[in-house]
Amino acid sequence: MEFKHKSVLLNECIEGLNIKSDGIYVDGTLGGAGHSLEIVKRLSSKGLLIGIDRDKEALETAKKRLKDYSNVKYVYGNHDDIQDILENLQIEKVDGILLDLGVSSYQLDERARGFSYMGNSKLDMRMDQNQELTAEIVVNEYTEEKLAKIIYDYGEEKFSKSIAKNICKAREEKRIQTTEELVEIIEKSIPRSKQNDGHPAKRTFQAIRIEVNNEIKPLMDTITKSINMLKDGGRLVVITFHSLEDRAVKEAFVEAEGRCTCPKDLPYCVCNYKSLGKIVNKKPIIPTEEEQKDNSRSKSAKLRIFEKR
């Protein structure tokens, strides 16, 4: 299947990175290279783009799309390991880092990957096809309590307990192996009168995908590592697609910016708080109405920018 992916908030990302022609930039979620193509176009022969992705198919597609550019390094890996990756490349600091935390349109549309609740495919949901944990393992081997917690915490699904209970009942009869089987269980777990906010399975599928790919737990640490790898004046640009991610990024940015904890009546600061830089946009940037109409998957996107100093 062709790797099709509309890059969300493309112009806003490029503007946010404030690209220097001779700079070093990292696309920590390379995907179909939509953002990366616009970055590398703005680099001179002295500039460098490093593309990281844990999906080998995405890397191969990106190499084809960026074949005309020799100043690109491709890394099969996870952006959570950005510090180790750059150290292995003997790069001390970079001028900008982009993290697009969404699942690509290709991954959602590729039925065999099991990300989508539309159609029928094996329960997989792995971004990295070499890892062991799959959606099938989560659905069939996690306890009812753990399933309910994941679906509630990561999917913000208020019927999480009912869904987890019915999953466990169904798997007593036979192992749940396909997305269609899981969707049927979810639909039966939510009252019809409450199935009026998009597809009833979307929150549960999101939750299981996050668990399979460990998308939330390391995020705040990844943000801090990324900021530490920036040169002074360098920028970290992050796109999120749901409230859990956005909240984690916002908190990490606030912590990195630092806050004086001294009593307000003191004439000067004595707490000696440390700041890694500044939050460029206090409110997240969201797609224009035109982009949301053109690409429905951009509707929940939020962009935050941090500048190292």
Residue 258's domain spans which residues? 10-101+216-308
What CATH number corresponds to the domain at position 228? 3.40.50.150
> Does 226 fall in a domain?
yes
Q: In the 8-state DSSP scheme, what is residue 7? A: P
Q: What is the pLDDT of residues 258-288, one digit of tens each?
A: 877 778 888 888 887 889 999 999 999 999 9
**Cα distance between residue 249 and residue 215, in whole Å:** 12
Mean pLDDT of 236-263: 91
Q: Give residue 146's pLDDT band: very low, low, confident or very high (50, 70, 90).
A: very high
> Does 80 fall in a domain?
yes
Report the SS3 class of residue 208.
helix
Does 110 have pLDDT greater than 90? Answer: no
Q: Are residues 208 and 222 in the same domain?
A: no
Going through the chain in order, the beta strands assigned E by DSSP cover: 24-27, 48-53, 72-76, 94-100, 230-240, 277-279, 302-308
Mean pLDDT of 210-239: 95
> Does 296 fall in a domain?
yes
Mean pLDDT is lowest, of 8-17, 55-64, 101-110, 127-136, for 101-110
pLDDT at 1: 43
Q: Are residues 208 and 167 in the same domain?
A: yes
Q: Give residue 6's pLDDT band: very low, low, confident or very high (50, 70, 90).
A: confident
Q: Are residues 197 and 236 in the same domain?
A: no
**Overall number of domains in the chain:** 2
Q: Are residues 80 and 136 in the same domain?
A: no
